[in-house]
Amino acid sequence: MLLAIDVGNTSTAIGVYGGRKLTGHWRISTDRERTSDEIGMLLLSLLSHSGIGPEMITDVIMCTVVPPVMHAMSNAIRKYLGKKPIFVEPGIKTGINIKYENPREVGSDKIVNAAAALKLYGGPVIIVDFGTATTFCAVNSRRDYLGGVICPGIKISAEALFERASKLPRIEIAKPRNVIGRTVVTSMQSGIVHGYVGQVDYIVSLMKQEMGEEGIKVVATGGMAGLIASESKTIDEVNPFLSLEGLRIIYEMNNPAHESQS
C-alpha cells in the first residue's frame, strides 16, 4: 500500500492507496512544533483506526510547502514505518514542463495538483486551490505549467476583518440566505462568500483569455472548494483529493513496475 502525504501551511492531507483505490484518508493540522515521535505515533494511530498495520505500507511519497515539518515527518516515517519517503522535488518525473522564470519557485503542491488534473481531466486546465492562500494554476494542452495567481485565502481574509476592524466579530464562513445582509454576521458572510465567487470567476475568465485555448477545464480543490463552486459560473469540477491523487500518479510515473501491477 502507498502512503501519500501532502503537508500544507494549515493542514496536512494523508491518504493510503491500495493500487489506485484510496482506501483511507485523513486531514490533520500542520504543527511545526510536533516532534518526529509525535508524528510517528499519530500516523500509527490513524493507520490502526482503519485496520492498516505499518507492515502493510510498502512505500511513502510526500510533498510539502513547509520545510520545518519535512525533517520531523521524514524521521517519523523512517522510525515508525521503516520506509524512506520519496519527496516531490526537482529531479522527480512529473510529466509537466514548468515555464516559470525560476522553476524552483513553484511549490510542490502546485505540481502535484497539476499532475493529477492533467491525468484525470486532461489539458488545458486551470486548478483553483482553496488553501491557506487561494491559488490559480494554468496548464496548457502541451502539459506546460504556465504560471498562475496567488490571492489571500478565504479564512485569512475573514480573520483579517475580525482582527483589524474592532467592531466586527469572528464568523463562520457560510453562504447567507440573501446577498444583502441584515446583520453584521450575514453581511460579512455575504462579502466573504460572494466576494470570493466573484474573484474566482473574474480571474478564471482573464486566465482563459490569456491562455487562448478552447475547452479549458476548471478544477477546484481545498477546504472551501465546494462552497465557492456551488455559486461559481466557471468551476467545472471539485476534487477534494486532488493532491493525494497527484502524489499517487507521480509515484506511478517514477515506479513503472507498480503502475503495471495496479
Active site positions, annotated: 109
CA gap 105, 103 in Å, rounded: 5
What distance in Å separates the CA atoms of residue 58 and residue 258, rounded to the nearest whole number? 11
Axis-axis angle for helices 108-121, 242-254 (nearest 10): 90
Q: What is the DSSP string of 38-72?
A: HHHHHHHHHHHHTT--GGG--EEEEEES-HHHHHH
Q: What is the DSSP letter of 99?
A: -
Helices (H), 82-183: 108-121, 154-164
Distance of CA 18 to the CA centre of its chain: 21
Question: What is the number of other CB atoms lying within 10 angstroms of the CB of residue 53?
Answer: 10
Grid-cell match 503542491, residue found: 109
